[in-house]
Amino acid sequence: MEADELKAIKAAAAYAFGPDATVRLFGSRADDRRRGGDIDLHVEVDASVDAWRAKCLFEDNLFARIEPQRVDVIVRNRDQPPRGIDMIALRDGVTL
């Protein structure tokens, strides 16, 4: 993944989810040896964050910074137990 894309993701996440959000890149884009595929992101947020609203803000802000492309965003409230997809992202993801 290119440095400008990573910078855009971090900036858009801070804007939409707040400065305390933890963003992880997982899936094929987390491995520089594998190319292509969508951008899979896992975002951990505090309970006070409206995940649906923040996800829309994130995508709008991100696509103002980079070319629109397929991005899958999984949002996890830190107060909730992790789901299967959360466990995969926590295990295999790269914190941005």
pLDDT tens string, the chain, 96 residues long: the values are 788 999 999 999 999 999 999 999 998 766 666 666 789 999 999 999 999 999 999 999 999 999 888 999 999 999 999 999 999 999 999 999
Range of the domain at 68: 3-95
Element (H, E) at 94: strand 94-95
* Per-residue pLDDT, 53: 96
Burial class (CB in 10 A: 0-12, 13-18, 19+), 76: buried
The answer for residues whose C-beta is within 8 angstroms of residue 6's C-beta and 6 or more apart is: 25, 96
CATH number of residue 22's parent domain: 3.30.460.10
In degrees, rounded to 5, the angle at the alpha carbon of residue 19 between the alpha carbons of residues 17 and 25 is 65
Domain count, the chain: 1
Tell me the whole-structure pTM to 2 decimals.
0.89
* Per-residue pLDDT, 1: 73
* Per-residue pLDDT, 34: 61
* Per-residue pLDDT, 38: 86
* Per-residue pLDDT, 94: 93
Burial class (CB in 10 A: 0-12, 13-18, 19+), 43: buried
